[in-house]
Amino acid sequence: MSKALKNIAEAVDLFAQGKFLIVIDDENRENEGDLIISGEKITDQDMAFMIRHTSGIICSAISAKRAKDLNLPIMVRENQDQRRTAFTISIDAREGLTTGISATERANTVRKMASAQSNAADFIRPGHVFPLIAHSDGLAGRRGHTEAGLVLCQLANQGESGVLSELVNDDGTVMKGQQLFDFADEYEIPVITIEDLALYALENLATKKSETTEIQWAKLPHETGLWQIATFKGGSGVDHAVLKFGDDENHSPTLIRAHSECLTGDSFGSLRCDCGEQLKSSFHLIAQKGHGYIIYLRGQEGRGIGLSEKIKAYLLQDQGLDTISANLELGHENDVRDWQDLITVLDQLKIKDIELITNN
Protein backbone atom coordinates (compact mmCIF):
# COMPACT_ATOMS: atom_id res chain seq x y z
CA MET A 1 0.00 0.00 0.00
CA SER A 2 1.13 3.52 -0.66
CA LYS A 3 3.25 5.30 1.91
CA ALA A 4 0.79 8.19 1.54
CA LEU A 5 -1.94 6.39 3.52
CA LYS A 6 -2.20 8.07 6.93
CA ASN A 7 -4.03 7.39 10.15
CA ILE A 8 -6.80 9.88 10.86
CA ALA A 9 -5.25 11.62 13.86
CA GLU A 10 -2.12 12.48 11.86
CA ALA A 11 -4.23 13.58 8.91
CA VAL A 12 -6.34 15.91 11.07
CA ASP A 13 -3.19 17.54 12.44
CA LEU A 14 -1.91 18.12 8.91
CA PHE A 15 -5.29 19.48 7.83
CA ALA A 16 -5.18 21.96 10.71
CA GLN A 17 -1.80 23.13 9.42
CA GLY A 18 -3.31 23.89 6.01
CA LYS A 19 -2.07 20.78 4.19
CA PHE A 20 -3.94 18.97 1.44
CA LEU A 21 -5.53 15.58 2.04
CA ILE A 22 -6.79 13.11 -0.54
CA VAL A 23 -10.03 11.59 0.70
CA ILE A 24 -11.24 8.46 -1.07
CA ASP A 25 -14.66 6.86 -0.77
CA ASP A 26 -15.92 3.31 -1.01
CA GLU A 27 -15.26 1.39 -4.23
CA ASN A 28 -18.97 0.59 -4.34
CA ARG A 29 -19.88 4.28 -4.23
CA GLU A 30 -17.92 6.66 -6.49
CA ASN A 31 -14.52 5.01 -5.89
CA GLU A 32 -12.95 8.43 -6.45
CA GLY A 33 -10.76 10.85 -4.56
CA ASP A 34 -11.12 14.51 -3.70
CA LEU A 35 -8.44 16.98 -2.78
CA ILE A 36 -9.63 18.59 0.46
CA ILE A 37 -8.08 21.51 2.32
CA SER A 38 -9.10 23.96 5.03
CA GLY A 39 -10.72 27.09 3.62
CA GLU A 40 -9.35 28.99 6.59
CA LYS A 41 -5.75 28.09 5.72
CA ILE A 42 -5.77 27.80 1.92
CA THR A 43 -3.31 30.01 0.01
CA ASP A 44 -3.60 31.37 -3.51
CA GLN A 45 -0.93 28.87 -4.57
CA ASP A 46 -2.89 26.00 -3.01
CA MET A 47 -5.96 27.03 -4.97
CA ALA A 48 -3.95 27.19 -8.21
CA PHE A 49 -2.64 23.65 -7.56
CA MET A 50 -6.16 22.45 -6.84
CA ILE A 51 -7.60 23.93 -10.03
CA ARG A 52 -4.76 22.46 -12.09
CA HIS A 53 -5.17 18.88 -10.87
CA THR A 54 -8.91 18.57 -10.39
CA SER A 55 -12.06 19.11 -12.40
CA GLY A 56 -11.78 22.79 -11.53
CA ILE A 57 -15.20 22.81 -9.89
CA ILE A 58 -14.24 24.23 -6.50
CA CYS A 59 -16.71 23.39 -3.76
CA SER A 60 -16.88 24.32 -0.09
CA ALA A 61 -18.58 22.09 2.48
CA ILE A 62 -20.70 23.92 5.06
CA SER A 63 -23.55 23.15 7.46
CA ALA A 64 -27.20 24.00 6.87
CA LYS A 65 -26.93 26.58 9.65
CA ARG A 66 -24.00 28.29 7.95
CA ALA A 67 -25.85 28.25 4.63
CA LYS A 68 -28.78 29.97 6.29
CA ASP A 69 -26.52 32.57 7.91
CA LEU A 70 -24.97 33.38 4.53
CA ASN A 71 -28.35 33.34 2.76
CA LEU A 72 -27.43 30.44 0.50
CA PRO A 73 -30.57 28.56 -0.58
CA ILE A 74 -30.26 25.26 -2.39
CA MET A 75 -29.59 25.60 -6.12
CA VAL A 76 -32.68 23.76 -7.37
CA ARG A 77 -35.98 22.86 -5.79
CA GLU A 78 -35.92 19.26 -7.07
CA ASN A 79 -32.51 17.66 -6.58
CA GLN A 80 -32.00 15.10 -9.35
CA ASP A 81 -28.32 14.47 -8.61
CA GLN A 82 -27.60 10.75 -8.26
CA ARG A 83 -25.92 11.26 -4.87
CA ARG A 84 -28.25 14.10 -3.76
CA THR A 85 -25.29 16.46 -3.39
CA ALA A 86 -26.79 19.61 -1.87
CA PHE A 87 -25.45 22.45 -4.02
CA THR A 88 -26.46 25.96 -3.04
CA ILE A 89 -26.33 28.89 -5.41
CA SER A 90 -22.72 29.71 -6.32
CA ILE A 91 -20.94 32.72 -4.85
CA ASP A 92 -17.94 35.05 -5.05
CA ALA A 93 -16.49 37.20 -2.29
CA ARG A 94 -17.52 40.79 -2.89
CA GLU A 95 -14.25 42.36 -1.68
CA GLY A 96 -11.56 42.56 -4.39
CA LEU A 97 -13.79 41.02 -7.04
CA THR A 98 -12.97 41.32 -10.75
CA THR A 99 -14.16 38.25 -12.67
CA GLY A 100 -14.10 35.87 -9.68
CA ILE A 101 -12.59 33.02 -11.70
CA SER A 102 -8.91 33.41 -10.79
CA ALA A 103 -7.26 31.20 -8.20
CA THR A 104 -6.60 34.29 -6.10
CA GLU A 105 -10.24 35.31 -6.08
CA ARG A 106 -11.58 31.82 -5.47
CA ALA A 107 -9.14 31.39 -2.57
CA ASN A 108 -10.39 34.69 -1.16
CA THR A 109 -13.98 33.48 -1.44
CA VAL A 110 -13.45 30.26 0.52
CA ARG A 111 -11.38 32.08 3.16
CA LYS A 112 -14.27 34.53 3.59
CA MET A 113 -16.65 31.59 3.93
CA ALA A 114 -14.52 30.18 6.74
CA SER A 115 -14.50 33.46 8.67
CA ALA A 116 -17.06 33.74 11.46
CA GLN A 117 -17.09 37.51 10.84
CA SER A 118 -18.44 37.10 7.30
CA ASN A 119 -22.13 37.57 6.56
CA ALA A 120 -24.42 37.30 3.56
CA ALA A 121 -23.61 40.80 2.36
CA ASP A 122 -19.94 39.83 1.89
CA PHE A 123 -20.80 37.67 -1.13
CA ILE A 124 -22.42 38.11 -4.54
CA ARG A 125 -24.52 35.51 -6.31
CA PRO A 126 -23.93 33.70 -8.67
CA GLY A 127 -20.19 33.17 -8.54
CA HIS A 128 -17.36 30.73 -9.10
CA VAL A 129 -17.33 28.75 -5.83
CA PHE A 130 -20.00 26.14 -5.14
CA PRO A 131 -21.05 25.74 -1.49
CA LEU A 132 -22.31 22.28 -0.55
CA ILE A 133 -24.55 21.66 2.46
CA ALA A 134 -23.43 18.63 4.47
CA HIS A 135 -25.91 16.15 5.89
CA SER A 136 -27.14 17.24 9.33
CA ASP A 137 -25.80 14.00 10.86
CA GLY A 138 -22.42 14.35 9.16
CA LEU A 139 -20.75 11.16 8.00
CA ALA A 140 -23.18 9.15 10.09
CA GLY A 141 -25.93 10.35 7.77
CA ARG A 142 -24.11 10.36 4.44
CA ARG A 143 -20.72 8.94 3.47
CA GLY A 144 -19.84 11.72 1.04
CA HIS A 145 -16.89 14.01 0.36
CA THR A 146 -19.08 16.97 1.37
CA GLU A 147 -19.54 15.56 4.85
CA ALA A 148 -15.85 14.60 5.02
CA GLY A 149 -14.86 18.19 4.28
CA LEU A 150 -17.03 19.62 7.05
CA VAL A 151 -16.07 16.92 9.57
CA LEU A 152 -12.37 17.62 8.97
CA CYS A 153 -12.99 21.31 9.71
CA GLN A 154 -14.78 20.39 12.93
CA LEU A 155 -12.09 17.96 14.08
CA ALA A 156 -9.31 20.45 13.30
CA ASN A 157 -11.11 23.46 14.84
CA GLN A 158 -11.19 25.25 11.51
CA GLY A 159 -13.86 27.64 10.24
CA GLU A 160 -16.65 26.07 8.19
CA SER A 161 -15.21 25.82 4.70
CA GLY A 162 -13.90 22.41 3.72
CA VAL A 163 -12.65 23.11 0.21
CA LEU A 164 -12.86 20.13 -2.13
CA SER A 165 -12.65 19.13 -5.76
CA GLU A 166 -12.38 15.83 -7.60
CA LEU A 167 -8.99 14.70 -8.88
CA VAL A 168 -8.71 14.05 -12.63
CA ASN A 169 -6.03 12.70 -14.96
CA ASP A 170 -4.37 14.75 -17.69
CA ASP A 171 -6.68 13.15 -20.26
CA GLY A 172 -9.72 14.41 -18.36
CA THR A 173 -10.80 11.10 -16.89
CA VAL A 174 -11.48 10.80 -13.18
CA MET A 175 -8.64 9.36 -11.06
CA LYS A 176 -9.44 6.04 -9.43
CA GLY A 177 -7.70 3.36 -7.41
CA GLN A 178 -3.93 3.17 -7.88
CA GLN A 179 -3.92 6.42 -9.87
CA LEU A 180 -4.87 8.26 -6.69
CA PHE A 181 -2.04 6.68 -4.72
CA ASP A 182 0.47 7.39 -7.49
CA PHE A 183 -0.56 11.05 -7.46
CA ALA A 184 -0.39 11.11 -3.66
CA ASP A 185 3.14 9.69 -3.69
CA GLU A 186 4.29 12.11 -6.38
CA TYR A 187 3.13 15.18 -4.47
CA GLU A 188 3.50 13.75 -0.94
CA ILE A 189 -0.14 14.24 -0.04
CA PRO A 190 -1.65 12.06 2.71
CA VAL A 191 -4.53 9.74 1.80
CA ILE A 192 -7.40 8.81 4.09
CA THR A 193 -10.66 6.95 3.53
CA ILE A 194 -14.11 8.27 4.31
CA GLU A 195 -14.89 5.12 6.26
CA ASP A 196 -11.90 5.57 8.58
CA LEU A 197 -12.74 9.26 9.02
CA ALA A 198 -16.35 8.41 9.89
CA LEU A 199 -15.28 5.96 12.60
CA TYR A 200 -12.79 8.46 14.04
CA ALA A 201 -15.35 11.28 14.02
CA LEU A 202 -17.98 9.17 15.75
CA GLU A 203 -15.85 9.02 18.87
CA ASN A 204 -13.79 12.19 18.71
CA LEU A 205 -16.38 14.79 17.71
CA ALA A 206 -18.64 13.76 20.57
CA THR A 207 -15.67 13.82 22.94
CA LYS A 208 -14.59 17.29 21.82
CA LYS A 209 -18.09 18.70 22.31
CA SER A 210 -18.72 17.14 25.70
CA GLU A 211 -15.34 18.27 27.01
CA THR A 212 -16.16 21.90 26.29
CA THR A 213 -19.75 21.80 27.58
CA GLU A 214 -20.70 22.55 31.18
CA ILE A 215 -24.29 22.40 32.36
CA GLN A 216 -25.24 24.44 35.44
CA TRP A 217 -28.79 24.28 36.73
CA ALA A 218 -31.03 27.07 38.08
CA LYS A 219 -34.51 26.69 39.59
CA LEU A 220 -37.50 27.37 37.34
CA PRO A 221 -40.87 27.44 39.14
CA HIS A 222 -43.65 26.37 36.76
CA GLU A 223 -47.38 25.69 36.97
CA THR A 224 -46.60 21.96 36.81
CA GLY A 225 -44.05 22.09 39.63
CA LEU A 226 -40.44 23.00 40.29
CA TRP A 227 -38.22 22.53 37.24
CA GLN A 228 -34.55 23.30 36.69
CA ILE A 229 -33.16 25.09 33.66
CA ALA A 230 -29.72 25.31 32.05
CA THR A 231 -28.29 26.41 28.74
CA PHE A 232 -26.19 24.38 26.37
CA LYS A 233 -24.08 25.94 23.64
CA GLY A 234 -24.48 24.10 20.38
CA GLY A 235 -21.90 23.45 17.72
CA SER A 236 -22.93 26.54 15.74
CA GLY A 237 -22.74 28.79 18.82
CA VAL A 238 -26.47 29.02 19.57
CA ASP A 239 -27.61 28.59 23.19
CA HIS A 240 -30.22 25.88 23.61
CA ALA A 241 -32.34 25.50 26.77
CA VAL A 242 -32.43 22.28 28.78
CA LEU A 243 -35.21 21.85 31.35
CA LYS A 244 -35.15 19.08 33.94
CA PHE A 245 -37.89 17.79 36.21
CA GLY A 246 -37.19 15.50 39.14
CA ASP A 247 -34.05 14.13 40.77
CA ASP A 248 -30.72 13.09 39.30
CA GLU A 249 -31.21 9.39 39.94
CA ASN A 250 -31.04 7.04 36.99
CA HIS A 251 -34.45 6.64 35.37
CA SER A 252 -34.52 4.25 32.46
CA PRO A 253 -35.93 4.99 30.04
CA THR A 254 -35.80 8.77 30.51
CA LEU A 255 -38.77 10.73 29.16
CA ILE A 256 -37.47 13.30 26.67
CA ARG A 257 -39.12 16.05 24.66
CA ALA A 258 -36.92 17.53 21.91
CA HIS A 259 -38.73 20.75 20.99
CA SER A 260 -37.76 22.88 18.00
CA GLU A 261 -38.02 26.60 18.67
CA CYS A 262 -41.27 28.07 17.33
CA LEU A 263 -41.76 31.72 18.27
CA THR A 264 -45.12 32.00 16.54
CA GLY A 265 -46.55 28.90 18.18
CA ASP A 266 -44.78 28.84 21.54
CA SER A 267 -45.01 32.56 22.37
CA PHE A 268 -47.74 34.04 20.17
CA GLY A 269 -50.19 31.14 20.22
CA SER A 270 -50.42 30.87 16.44
CA LEU A 271 -53.03 28.42 15.22
CA ARG A 272 -51.01 27.64 12.09
CA CYS A 273 -49.25 24.98 14.16
CA ASP A 274 -49.74 23.15 17.44
CA CYS A 275 -46.18 23.66 18.68
CA GLY A 276 -47.30 25.65 21.72
CA GLU A 277 -49.82 23.01 22.71
CA GLN A 278 -47.24 20.26 22.23
CA LEU A 279 -44.79 22.09 24.49
CA LYS A 280 -47.42 22.64 27.18
CA SER A 281 -48.46 19.00 26.99
CA SER A 282 -44.82 17.91 27.37
CA PHE A 283 -44.48 19.86 30.62
CA HIS A 284 -47.54 18.08 32.01
CA LEU A 285 -46.54 14.60 30.80
CA ILE A 286 -43.06 14.82 32.31
CA ALA A 287 -44.32 16.31 35.58
CA GLN A 288 -46.89 13.53 35.89
CA LYS A 289 -44.20 10.90 35.39
CA GLY A 290 -41.98 12.62 37.94
CA HIS A 291 -38.79 12.85 35.92
CA GLY A 292 -37.64 13.89 32.47
CA TYR A 293 -36.20 16.59 30.25
CA ILE A 294 -37.37 19.13 27.72
CA ILE A 295 -34.58 20.08 25.34
CA TYR A 296 -35.55 23.34 23.64
CA LEU A 297 -33.55 23.60 20.44
CA ARG A 298 -33.13 27.18 19.33
CA GLY A 299 -32.28 28.14 15.77
CA GLN A 300 -34.79 25.64 14.39
CA GLU A 301 -37.64 28.03 13.57
CA GLY A 302 -39.66 26.83 10.60
CA ARG A 303 -37.84 23.46 10.42
CA GLY A 304 -34.56 25.35 10.41
CA ILE A 305 -35.21 28.04 7.77
CA GLY A 306 -35.47 30.91 10.28
CA LEU A 307 -38.21 33.32 11.29
CA SER A 308 -38.00 35.61 8.27
CA GLU A 309 -38.19 32.74 5.77
CA LYS A 310 -40.95 31.15 7.81
CA ILE A 311 -43.11 34.27 7.46
CA LYS A 312 -42.43 34.23 3.71
CA ALA A 313 -43.63 30.63 3.72
CA TYR A 314 -46.80 31.79 5.50
CA LEU A 315 -47.46 34.16 2.60
CA LEU A 316 -47.20 31.26 0.16
CA GLN A 317 -49.45 29.14 2.35
CA ASP A 318 -52.01 31.96 2.21
CA GLN A 319 -51.95 31.41 -1.56
CA GLY A 320 -52.73 27.71 -1.21
CA LEU A 321 -49.37 25.92 -0.79
CA ASP A 322 -48.79 23.48 2.06
CA THR A 323 -45.84 23.82 4.46
CA ILE A 324 -43.41 21.61 2.55
CA SER A 325 -44.31 23.03 -0.86
CA ALA A 326 -43.86 26.57 0.47
CA ASN A 327 -40.39 25.74 1.79
CA LEU A 328 -39.40 24.19 -1.53
CA GLU A 329 -40.74 27.19 -3.43
CA LEU A 330 -38.45 29.42 -1.35
CA GLY A 331 -35.45 27.27 -2.28
CA HIS A 332 -35.19 25.31 0.97
CA GLU A 333 -35.29 21.60 1.60
CA ASN A 334 -38.40 20.41 3.43
CA ASP A 335 -36.42 20.12 6.69
CA VAL A 336 -32.96 21.63 7.29
CA ARG A 337 -32.74 21.07 11.04
CA ASP A 338 -29.49 19.70 12.45
CA TRP A 339 -29.89 17.20 15.31
CA GLN A 340 -26.23 16.85 16.28
CA ASP A 341 -26.64 19.25 19.23
CA LEU A 342 -29.43 17.05 20.61
CA ILE A 343 -27.18 14.01 20.43
CA THR A 344 -24.39 15.89 22.17
CA VAL A 345 -26.51 17.18 25.06
CA LEU A 346 -27.99 13.72 25.66
CA ASP A 347 -24.45 12.38 25.79
CA GLN A 348 -23.45 15.17 28.21
CA LEU A 349 -26.42 14.30 30.42
CA LYS A 350 -25.32 10.64 30.25
CA ILE A 351 -28.73 9.62 28.96
CA LYS A 352 -28.54 6.42 26.93
CA ASP A 353 -32.06 4.98 27.10
CA ILE A 354 -34.88 7.37 26.21
CA GLU A 355 -38.63 7.45 25.79
CA LEU A 356 -39.19 10.16 23.20
CA ILE A 357 -42.21 12.43 23.14
CA THR A 358 -42.82 13.12 19.44
CA ASN A 359 -41.06 16.33 18.38
CA ASN A 360 -42.62 19.23 16.48
C-beta pairs of 230-233 under 8 Å, 24+ apart in sequence? 232/341, 232/344, 232/345, 232/348
Strands 59-62 and 33-38 turn out to be unpaired
Q: CA distances (Å), 5 to each of 54, 59, 278, in order? A: 20, 24, 51
**Is 13 part of the annotated catalytic residue set?**
no
Q: CA-to-CA distance for 129 and 50, rounded, in angstroms?
A: 13
Catalytic, out of 66, 106, 143, 337? 337
Contact, 163 vs 36, CB < 8 A?
A: yes
**Is 337 part of the annotated catalytic residue set?**
yes
Q: CA-to-CA distance for 194 and 167, rounded, in angstroms?
A: 16
- Amino acid of residue 240: H
Catalytic, out of 335, 338, 341, 347? 335
Q: CA-to-CA distance for 118 and 124, rounded, in angstroms?
A: 13
- Residue 336: which H helix or E strand, with range? none
- Amino acid of residue 239: D
Catalytic residues: 335, 337
